[in-house]
Amino acid sequence: MAEATTHTARYREIATVLRRHSLGFMVGLLGIGRLVPFRRGNGGRNGARTRAIDTGTAAQSNGETSPEHLRLALEELGPTFIKLGQLLSTRSDLLPPAYVEELAKLQDAAPPVPVADIRAVIRRELGSEPEELFATFDDRPLASASIGQAHAATLDDGTPVVVKVRRPGAVARVLEDLEILQNLAARASRRWGPARDIDAAGVVDEFAQTLRAELDYLQEGRNAERFAEDFAHEADVVIPRVFWEHTTSRVLTLERMRGMNVGDAVALDAAGVDRKRVARRGAEIVLKMTFEDRFFHADLHPGNLFIHDDGTIALIDFGMVGAIGEELRGHLSTLFVALVRGNPAMLAGALTSLS
């Protein structure tokens, strides 16, 4: 296990956390068991224990795992693992329903960064104190996530904005964890048939590429501007403006979007919003991204969608995006045509081409 020498302390931490949450069988599959002392009844090396993740059941007394233990372990391991769990929560083709449901509870939240540190980053990146750059700047964070912390501010012309500041040390930890995850996925694929069958190494490689891009706020700003261009003629879709004079790779200043959470049915009904129309319009937005623009928002969870009283949809958070090539678009088009026509043979052919 030569590659472990570079990140020995982190490998040991991962192994310890997995065993503490009754995921010891994964320690064996990943080949990192020798980094922590073996304790009987805490996971062991019995390959039969992998049945727990195959069925979504648990028997902690036997050292077997459960969906809840997996979620707790990912939360304890920090931002990179939380984001991987969030990705897996959207992949019902890879995990049993119980795991998908539990991983969907993962929240990309973190303890707030001290405001002194936030101000230091802004001063270093933009050259001035927040009070000199903005008409107002709220020291209380709007949100504190694993990679960045957001603060409300106002420009001199009165425009409300959100200032996203990358957490000090976030890049080093994320890059280290991504390298470790890629090593572990490759090893798991060699040791465990199911990991090889789902192309665990490929899943992690794609995840790593996306997350590395999310670390660069300049790229997120460019993504936002591309979406703004793509939806320039869609009056009921709003994309926040980027204020480049207050933006660097570590600080991103965007127009502040307000509205109701797309999942808050009570608030939507109270405002008289037609929820069926919102759902239909949301589907149309995704289809436009996929088939017309071939550039899509890869993190459209409810927290990144705001609904205005008139049904207008505002999108935020453009760090994770994807692009679709011409060949893939053709396969997806064939798949949808087969579904509409109810043609099983055509559908099977489209799925075979996609896979």
Query: Using one digit for the tens of pLDDT, what is the confidence trace for 122-147?
Result: 999 999 999 999 999 999 999 988 88
Q: What is the DSSP letter of 114?
A: P
Note whether 141 and 271 are same-domain residues. Answer: yes
Note whether 124 and 257 are same-domain residues. Answer: yes
159-179: average pLDDT: 94
Residue 104's pLDDT is: 85
Residue 159 located in a structural domain: yes
pLDDT band at 91 (very low <50, low <70, confident <90, very high): confident
- Domain span including residue 49: 2-109
Note whether 152 and 38 are same-domain residues. Answer: no
Mean pLDDT of the chain: 87
pLDDT band at 36 (very low <50, low <70, confident <90, very high): low
211-222: average pLDDT: 92
Residue 105's pLDDT is: 85
Element housing 142 (H / E): strand 136-144
Does residue 181 or residue 29 have the better pLDDT? 181
Note whether 227 and 147 are same-domain residues. Answer: yes
Residue 2's pLDDT is: 46
Structure token digits, residue 307? 């609904």
Residue 33's pLDDT is: 78
Give Cβ neighbours of residue 123 (< 8 Å, ≥ 6 apart).
129
Note whether 78 and 223 are same-domain residues. Answer: no
Residue 60's pLDDT is: 44
Note whether 134 and 254 are same-domain residues. Answer: yes
Does residue 355 or residue 213 have the better pLDDT? 213
Q: Is the separation of the CB atoms in 285 and 237 below 8 Å?
A: yes
Dihedral pair phi/psi, residue 305, rounded to 5°? -130, 125
Residue 41's pLDDT is: 44
Residue 213's pLDDT is: 85
Note whether 280 and 137 are same-domain residues. Answer: yes
Q: What is the CATH number of the domain that holds 260?
A: 1.10.510.10
Centre a 10 Å sphere on the Cβ of residue 263 and count the other Cβ atoms it contains. 12
Residue 93's pLDDT is: 82
Dihedral pair phi/psi, residue 76, rounded to 5°? -70, -30
Angle between helices 344-354 and 326-341 (to 10 degrees): 160
Q: What is the pLDDT of residues 264-321, one digit of tens each?
A: 999 999 999 999 999 999 999 999 999 999 999 988 878 889 999 999 999 999 998 9
Q: Percent of the chain at pLDDT above 90?
A: 59
Residue 299 annotated in active site: yes
β-strands 136-144, 148-154 pairing: antiparallel
Q: What does the longest C-alpha to C-alpha distance in the chain come to?
A: 65
3-state SS class at 161: strand
220-248: average pLDDT: 97
Residue 51's pLDDT is: 43
45-66: average pLDDT: 44
Residue 196 located in a structural domain: no
Note whether 143 and 232 are same-domain residues. Answer: yes
Whether pLDDT at 53 is above 60: no
Whether pLDDT at 244 is above 90: yes
| Cα torsion 141, 108, 78, 63: sign | positive
The domain boundary, picked from 69, 94, 109, lies at: 109
Note whether 92 and 121 are same-domain residues. Answer: no
Residue 46's pLDDT is: 41
Residue 47's pLDDT is: 42
Q: What is the number of structural domains in the chain?
A: 2
* H helices present in the chain, as ranges: 8-20, 24-29, 51-55, 67-77, 79-88, 97-103, 115-126, 130-133, 170-191, 193-197, 200-214, 217-230, 265-270, 275-287, 326-341, 344-354
Note whether 159 and 40 are same-domain residues. Answer: no
Residue 330 located in a structural domain: no
Kindly name the residue from 108, 177, 299, 317 that is annotated as catalytic.
Answer: 299
Residue 286's pLDDT is: 94
Residue 37's pLDDT is: 59
Q: What is the pLDDT of residues 187-197, one digit of tens each?
A: 988 888 888 88
Note whether 227 and 304 are same-domain residues. Answer: yes
Note whether 105 and 128 are same-domain residues. Answer: no
Residue 214's pLDDT is: 86
Structure token digits, residue 228? 């703004």
Whether pLDDT at 62 is above 80: no
